Amino acid sequence: MAEAFIVDAVRTPVGRRGGGLAGAHPADLGAHVLASLLTRTGIDPGAVDDVIFGCVDTIGPQAGNIARTAWLAAGLPEAVPGVTVDRQCGSSQQAVHFAAQAIMSGTADLVVAGGVQNMSQIPIAAAMSAGEPFGHEDPVAGSDGWLARYGRHEISQFRAADMIAAKWGIGRPEMEEFALASHERAVAAIDSGAFEAEIEPYDALRDDECPRRDTSLERMAQLTSLRPADHGGIITAALSSQIADGAAALMIASERAVTQHCLDPRARIAHISARGDDPVLMLTAPIAATEHALRKAGMSLADIDLIEINEAFAPVVLAWQRETGADVSRVNVTGGAIALGHPLGATGARLMTTLLYGLSRTGGRFGLQTMCEGGGQANVTIIERVAPCEPPERGSRSEIAEERRDIAGEQFRLLGRSEMTALAHRRPPADVVQPLGPLARRAAVVDELVSEYGDRRGDRDAITRAQRGQPPVVRVIAHR
C-alpha cells in the first residue's frame, strides 16, 4: 500500500470566546491557513486534488460546505473541490484520515486536510437544537430504535464527564492539579516560543489567548460545578476545555507528489484508525481506540515519544492515563485544550500540527494523537517524523521548485492553455517544438535534480526501514 506523508502544517492562534478571532468569518479563518499552507509548501494550488475540512455546528457562516467556501475565499482555483466532514470533536482529525486514505489508495496525490470553528459566532451545540422549529428537540428524540436501546438517558458531555470521574474515582483536587499543569505548560510554551513556527498570526493576534496566567488551585476550588452536586455534578469550568475560535490545515502528499514537487515532508502517517464505545458515557473511547491502534501498528506506548490527547475534560485524560499506563511526561507537553481552548472542528488539525512541530523540536520519532468524540467515538493517528532530506549541491529545494514554476509559466505564455492541454496527449509539431527547445533543456536539468532528490530520499527511507526491521521497498518505474 502506498504511503502518505505530511508535508507541512499551520494553524491560527487559538482565540478565546469573544477574543481576537471572534469577528472573523469562519471562511476567512479557513482561507487564512489554506493560503499560508500553500505559501509554506510552495505547491501550485492547482495541483491539489481535494480539500477536506472538519467543522461542527455547520449552520450560518459555517454552513454550505465550509471547506469549499474557505478555499474560494482564499482566492484559490475554482477547479479544486472541497468537502466538509463532521465526526464531532474529531472532525478535522478525521479529515486527516480521509486525506491519508485517498493518498494510500492511489486516488489522489495532494490533499489538504484541516478544520475551522468560530464558537464565538455559532455557539456550541447550536446544530443540536436547530431542528426545534421543525418539531425535533434534539437529534435522537422520536427515534424508536434509540429509545429501545438507550432509553431516555440524558446525552450530555457534561454528565458523561461527571460519570467518568465517578467511575474511575477521580477526585476534584486531582483534576484541578491536572488543569493547573495544563495552563502552566501552555504558558511556558508560549513564553519559550515553542508555538511560533506552527502559528500564522491573524491580523494583530499572534499568540494563543486562552491560557490563564493568573489561575491557581485556590481560584479553581471556589468554582461551582456545571451540573448540580446533588445530581452527581463535580466538573467545573476550570476542568473543562475552553470555548474558542481557530483554524488549522495540513498538506498530505503521496510519495509520487513528494518527488514531483520537490517536497521535503515532515512526517509519515504510520497508522490511522477509529473506534466506538458507549455513547452515553461518550468520552471513554480513546482508551479502547489507543489499545486497538497500538495493536494494529505492532507498537506499544513505550515506542511513542509524544502524545496529544484532547483535554475535553480533565477526567477524560486521567481515566485514559490510568487504563493505558501512559507516561504523563510525554502527554500534552505544551498544554492541552483546558488551557489552549477547543475550537471543535479545528482541534484535531490543531493537535496534529502541534504534534508535528513538537516532534521536530524535540527530535522524537513517533507521535500519537487521540481524542474523544460525540456519540462515543475516538480517532487515533500515529505519525513518524521524517528527517530533512539534504538538497543536491546544484540547487536548493526551493530553487528547483521555483525553476519548475518558471518553466511552466513560460510554456503557458508561448503556447496558451489549449496547446498546453494538447501537448499532454500528442507529439507536438516542429513549429511548436522549436521555441520550446531552451525550455526543454532547462526542464531536463530540473528532472535530473528531482531524480537526485528521489535517490537521496530512497537511501534515507531504506535506512529507516532497516532500523524498523522491515524489508526494503522495491519500486518498479515504468518508462514511456
Looking at 55, 210, 262, 372, which residue is catalytic? Answer: 372
Instruction: Name the nearest CA neighbour of 386 among 408, 404, 359.
Output: 359
- Residues 225, 5: Cα–Cα separation, whole Å: 44
Mean pLDDT for the chain overall: 89
Specify the pLDDT at position 388.
75
The percentage of residues in the chain with a pLDDT greater than 90, rounded to a whole number, is 79
Q: pLDDT for 251-296, tens place per residue?
A: 999 999 999 999 999 999 999 999 999 999 999 999 999 999 999 9
Looking at 97, 183, 271, 342, which residue is catalytic? Answer: 342
359/447: higher pLDDT: 359
In this structure, whether the domain defined by 4-128+145-385 belongs to CATH 3.40.47.10 is answered with yes
Q: What is the pTM of this model?
A: 0.84
Looking at 55, 89, 210, 389, which residue is catalytic? Answer: 89
Q: pLDDT for 319-366, tens place per residue?
A: 999 999 999 999 999 999 999 999 999 999 999 999 999 999 999 999
Specify the pLDDT at position 422.
45
Q: pLDDT for 8-36, tens place per residue?
A: 999 999 999 999 999 999 999 999 999 99
262 catalytic residue (yes or no): no
Interhelix angle for 172-192 vs 314-324, to 10°? 100
Residue ranges, CATH 3.40.47.10, the chain: 4-128+145-385
State how beta strands 244-254 and 110-118 pair: antiparallel
372 catalytic residue (yes or no): yes
Residue 50 phi, psi dihedral angles, 5° rounding:
-165, 160
